[in-house]
Amino acid sequence: MIEKLQDSRAVLLGAVAIFAIGLTTSGYALGDGLRRSKMAEHRSVTVRGVSERDVTANLATWSVNFSHEGTELDPVQQSVDQQANVIRSFFQRAGFRPEDIADSDVSLNREQPRDRDGKPVGPQKLTVRRSIQLRTTDVLRARAAYARQAELLRDGVELSGTNVTYTFTGLNALKPQMIAEATRNARQSAEQFARDSGVAVGRLKNASQGYFSVGPRDGEDCEDCGSAGGTTPFQKVRVVTTIDYDLG
């Protein structure tokens, strides 16, 4: 009887020991699996892909601001009208069509001179300001004419400001191809990093297209440039994509 009890006790202890070993082993496997999963979450790489295109602007907008001042409105207005005719003639001699030229702004300012006590002194001073704008797709012709704008001064135009802006309007047509190229370049960078690290590129985790910028073709790269145009017709379109890949 005693021997049977001892045998039963030994069998029970053996079963408990086997169960404990199995529980320990499964716990280790589970913990190791969680650890590996956690490590896998952090095994990733962030890469950037760039795509650039050299383009020539296809729209030029040139604004010429001028003015005249005096004490009587009629003579002042006549002077401004004469200057406007000179500007229009200048544009037409340069080869632009009349429909490319338009008045864009006009204003009248009255200023009354006063003495130290604030009392009016003499007649009012009148200033008429006017602006004429050239808008053309012949950007190289506009660039050549802009280089000769000193002729306006010699012809009596009282310039108060003149500036030309060159804009590339074909950005939407370039976007699909450039995005695809930037994405391929990012993938190549990730694969190169993976090869150097002895791992493989896994799934794509996150992607950010970035934004397109249009800046001068010559000079430093400008990621903060906008796309509203610039002071040169020779421009560069640029896009940068940022992508996160898992590493296996």
For residues 217 and 222, what is the distance between their CA atoms, to the nearest angstrom? 10
* Residue 82 and residue 70 in contact, taking contact as beta carbons nearer than 8 Å: no
b/e map 206-229, b = 16+ CB within 10 Å: eeeebebbbbbbeeeeeeebebeb
Q: Which residue has the tokens 């632009």?
A: 96
pLDDT in tens, the chain (248 residues): 444 434 555 444 444 444 444 444 444 444 444 344 444 455 788 989 999 999 999 999 999 999 999 999 999 999 999 999 999 999 999 999 999 999 999 999 998 888 788 788 888 899 999 999 999 999 999 999 999 999 999 999 999 999 999 999 999 999 999 999 999 998 899 888 888 888 888 887 888 878 899 989 876 555 445 555 688 999 999 999 999 888 87
E-only strand ranges, the chain: 44-56, 59-70, 101-111, 125-136, 159-167, 201-208, 212-216, 234-247
**Cα 68 to Cα 84: distance, rounded to the nearest angstrom:** 11
How far the first Cα of the chain sits from its last, in Å, is 62
Report the candidate in 90, 108, 101, 105 with the shortest Cα–Cα distance to residue 135.
Answer: 101
